[in-house]
Amino acid sequence: MTSSQKKDTFHKWRLTPGYLREKGSDLQSMLILLGRFLTDRSSKDPLPEKSLFSEDGKFEWGDTSPLEKVINSPGDWEFLLQHPQISRNCIFIVEPWKHVGFNSLYEEVRASKNVAFIAQKLADCDSILFPAWDVGTLDLNSVVPILSSSMAVILEGGNASAHDSSQWNDCDCSREEMLALVEKLLLSRSPQSAPVIMICVSHQLAAECHVRLLKRAVQEILNTDALARDVEGEALISLKSVVEKIQSLGKNLKIEKRDGRIVAEGWDDANFAVVLNEDKEIGDRHLLPYRTPNAKNSIIPIELLEAHKIMAYEHEGVIDKMILEHGRDVAISMFHYDEVNEEAILFANWAYISLHNAIIPHRHIIAGSSLSWLLQLPYSVEILASTEAEGKILTECSCTCINYKDFETKKMRRSFTCQFHPELLSDLREIGKRPEPSYTELKQSDGTRLLVQLLYESIQE
C-alpha cells in the first residue's frame, strides 16, 4: 500500500461502534455480554446470527468491516482524535511483529485477528489494529494517550526474541521502540485509563521493562541531591535507603534454571529477565496456579519469596478462581521459545512494593518534584500461573498480574501479561485460515474464557 493510499483509508471506518446490531454497541452492553458469556458453557448466542467473514469468505485486516480499522499513517491517529467515540468503544490491538510464529501446518499465525473476532462475536466490540512493525517510529506522547482512552489495549505476540535486538532489524519498529512503548503503557495505568493485556513476546517485553523502570528509579533517586520542600531531608533519605537495597539485591541476584544452570548473574545480565526456555512449548498445556517456592529448597532470597506470598494472599488470583469454578485444570495454547525468569518477577514485585511503601509518607513532597513519575509505577506484580505437561512444570512464570494501588483511595487497578496465547484455539490457526468458530465452540475454549475474564474484570476497574 502506498503512502497516498494509506492516507485515505480511515474515511471507510465506521463511526458508530458495533457491527452485529443495527443500533450499535456501547460499553455497558458489551460488558453485559462478556459477563453473560462467562456465566456458563451452554447458553446460546444472544447476538444476531451474522457471519463476520466477508462475502467471499475472507477475514482480513483492512479489507472490509468489521476489520477496516487499521492504523496506517499519522492521519489515522488524527482521525481518532477528531472522533474519540471510536477508540472509547473499541479494543486497541498492537502488533509488535507481523505474526506470532508458524503452526504445524507451516502457516504464519496472525493472532490479532483472533482477538478481534472474539471481541466482536461475543460482545459486538470493535477493534482497532496498530501494526507497529509496519508503521515505523512511534510518537509515544501522541500514541499512548489514544491507546489508553480505549476500552482495553492488547499487545500481541511476535516471532522475534524479546532479548535479542538483531531479530528486530527487519521490523519498522525496533526492539528499543517497543520497550519504550511498553514502559510508557506501564506508567499510564490510571483510574481513567484502559487496562493492558500483553501476550507472549509482549509478556517478555513487560518483564524487561519492569527491570528497566526499577533501574531508572534507582539511578534517578541516587543522583538526586535534594527535593524541594523536603526540609529535613527525610524523604530523600528514606528513598535512597530503599533503592540502595534494591540495587544491591538486583546486582547480585542469580537466575537458576530447573536443571541447575545459572543463566544470569545480576540485573545487568542480558538474560536476567528473559532467557531461552529449556524446552520449546508449542501446543496445548495445562495452566496451574503459581506456587511460590519453598525458601528451604531455593536460592531465591527469602525477602522476595515472602513479599510474593503476602501479596498473593491479599489478592484473589484469576487462575485460582477459574479452576475453582470449573473444578479442573485450565487448558491453553503455548507458542514460544523464550520464557520470563521467575526470579526477575519476584524481584520486581519486592522492589515495587518496597518503593511504594517508602513513598507513602512523603508522597506530597514527591508529587511536586522531578521524581513525581515514581507515583505512576506499579504497586506490585504477581505471578498467577505456571504451565504443566506430563506432570512437569515447563514455564514457572506464564501469567502475571500488574497491580496499581491509588495512593489516596487505596483502590486497585490491574493489567495482565501471559506467555500463552489465550486467543488461539487448540489448532493454533488464525481465524480466516480456519473455519469461523461458533459461539458454542468459543464457550468451550478455556483460553477464550480466560481472555474474556481478564478483559471483563480489568475494564471495570
In sequence order, what are the beta bridge partners of 336? 281
Identify the three-state secondary structure at position 394.
Answer: strand
What are phi and psi for residue 95, nearest 5 degrees? -100, 115
Is the CB of residue 249 less than 8 Å from the CB of residue 347? yes
- pLDDT of 22 reads 84
What SS3 string covers 157-184? CCCCCCCCHHHHCCCCCCHHHHHHHHHH
What is the Cα–Cα distance from 312 to 7, expressed in whole angstroms?
48
Is the CB of residue 437 less than 8 Å from the CB of residue 429? no
In sequence order, what are the beta bridge partners of 128? 92
Is the CB of residue 224 less than 8 Å from the CB of residue 356? no
User: Tens-of-pLDDT digits for all 461 residues of the chain?
Assistant: 444 444 455 568 999 999 999 889 999 999 999 999 999 999 999 999 999 999 999 999 997 999 999 999 888 999 999 999 999 999 999 999 999 988 889 999 999 999 999 999 999 999 999 999 998 777 899 999 999 999 999 999 988 888 788 888 888 889 999 999 999 999 999 988 999 999 999 999 999 999 999 999 999 999 999 999 998 899 999 999 999 999 999 999 999 987 788 999 999 999 999 987 765 666 677 888 899 999 888 999 999 999 999 998 887 667 767 665 665 577 777 666 788 999 999 999 999 999 999 999 999 999 999 999 999 999 999 999 998 877 778 889 999 999 999 999 999 999 999 999 999 998 999 999 999 999 999 999 999 999 999 999 999 99
> Residue 431 has what DSSP assignment?
B
**All three cell numbers of 218:** 534507582
Strands 412-418 and 392-405: antiparallel
**All three cell numbers of 137:** 517510529
* Annotated domain spans of the chain: 1-200+421-461, 206-412
> Residue 10 has what DSSP assignment?
G
**All three cell numbers of 263:** 543463566
What is the Cα–Cα distance from 217 to 445, expressed in whole angstroms?
41
pTM: 0.94
Cis ω before 66 (30° cut-off from 0): yes
Query: Dihedral angle at the C-alpha atoms of 438, 444, 450, 455, nearest 10 degrees?
Result: 30
Q: Which residues contact 23 (CB under 8 A, 6 or more apart)?
A: none
> Residue 377 has what DSSP assignment?
S
What SS3 string covers 268-329? CCCCCCEEEEEEEEEEEEEEEECCCCCHHHCCCCHHHHHHHHHHHHHCCCHHHHHHHHHCCC
Output the CA torsion sign for 42, 330, 50, 15: positive
What is the Cα–Cα distance from 384 to 378, expressed in whole angstroms?
16
Element (H, E) at 76: helix 74-82
Strands 152-155 and 196-199: parallel
- pLDDT of 326 reads 60
- In angstroms, the first-to-last Cα distance of the chain is 39
What is the Cα–Cα distance from 15 to 218, expressed in whole angstroms?
45
What is the Cα–Cα distance from 427 to 419, expressed in whole angstroms?
17
Query: Dihedral angle at the C-alpha atoms of 156, 432, 22, 95, nearest 10 degrees?
Result: 20
Q: Which residues contact 31 (CB under 8 A, 6 or more apart)?
A: 123, 456, 459, 460
Identify the three-state secondary structure at position 395.
Answer: strand
- pLDDT of 160 reads 84
Is the CB of residue 179 less than 8 Å from the CB of residue 215? no
**All three cell numbers of 202:** 509482549
